[in-house]
Amino acid sequence: MRIVIATCSVNYSGRLNAHLALAKRLLMVKADGAVLIHSDGGSYKPLNWMSPPASLRVSAPDDHQSEAGIREIWTVSAEKTDDELRILISEVHHDSSHELGTDPGLVKDGVEADLQRLLAEQIERLGDGHSLIRREHATPIGPVDILAKGPAGTVAVELKRRGDIDGVEQLSRYLELLNRDPLLAPVEGVFAAQQIKPQARTLAQDRGIRCVVLDYEEMKGEESGAPRLF
Answer yes or no: do 136 and 53 share one domain. Answer: no
With a cut of 70, say whether residue 223 has pLDDT above it: no
Answer yes or no: do 137 and 75 share one domain. Answer: no
Question: For residues 59 and 63, what is the distance between their CA atoms, to the nearest angstrom?
Answer: 13
Q: What digits encode the pLDDT tens for the residues 65-92?
A: 999 999 999 999 999 899 999 999 999 9
With a cut of 90, say whether residue 177 has pLDDT above it: yes
Check which CATH number belongs to the domain holding 70 and give it: 2.70.180.20
Listed range (68-72, 110-114, 225-229) with the worst mean pLDDT: 225-229
Question: For residues 144 and 219, what is the distance between their CA atoms, to the nearest angstrom?
Answer: 21
- The answer for residues whose C-beta is within 8 angstroms of residue 196's C-beta and 6 or more apart is 162, 163, 204, 211, 213
Specify if 197 maps to a domain.
yes
Check which CATH number belongs to the domain holding 181 and give it: 3.40.1350.10
- Backbone CA torsion sign across 4, 94, 22, 26: positive
Strands 187-196 and 210-213: parallel
With a cut of 70, say whether residue 227 has pLDDT above it: no
Find the mean pLDDT for residues 108-115: 73
Answer yes or no: do 87 and 176 share one domain. Answer: no
Answer yes or no: do 209 and 137 share one domain. Answer: yes
With a cut of 60, say whether residue 103 has pLDDT above it: yes
Find the mean pLDDT for residues 138-144: 91
Mean pLDDT, the chain, whole residue set: 91
Domain final position from 48, 69, 97 = 97
Question: For residues 78 and 15, what is the distance between their CA atoms, to the nearest angstrom?
Answer: 11
Specify if 229 maps to a domain.
no
Answer yes or no: do 49 and 136 share one domain. Answer: no
Domain count for the chain, please give it.
2
Question: For residues 45 and 162, what is the distance between their CA atoms, to the nearest angstrom?
Answer: 24
Q: Which domain holds residue 169?
A: 112-221
pTM (2 decimals)? 0.54
